[in-house]
Amino acid sequence: GQQLNQSPQSMFIQEGEDVSMNCTSSSIFNTWLWYKQDPGEGPVLLIALYKAGELTSNGRLTAQFGITRKDSFLNISASIPSDVGIYFCASGGGTSYGKLTFGQGTILTVHP
């Protein structure tokens, strides 16, 4: 089945640093989504992207839909301790039509 490669698997950063993570696929998708999961909670949608090349911001978060439609990245600027959690990418559309496929997640740890 379709798979997403999400990297890095984990990150340990100092408060105030910027963070970047990405997802790649061998397939073309029409949708890229980014989620954050806090400990003990379900993942929550952060940013949704629907157009190749689209760049969208949500506060300190910025995500882009790659122009090849096979990748996406998420940047977090000026990280704070509450950014700790697991970040997941998800993609859909294309040949999967409607079904979303999730990456394995990036575990982010922020040291004060």
Instruction: Summarize as ranges the residues that interact with another protein (CB under 8 A).
Output: 1, 30-31, 33, 35, 41-45, 48, 50, 86, 88, 90, 92-93, 98-105, 107
Residue 83 CB, nearest distance to another protein (Å)?
16
Q: Which is nearer to another protein, 66 or 103 (CB)?
A: 103
Nearer to another protein, 77 or 93 (CB): 93
Alpha-carbon distance 112 to 110, whole Å? 6
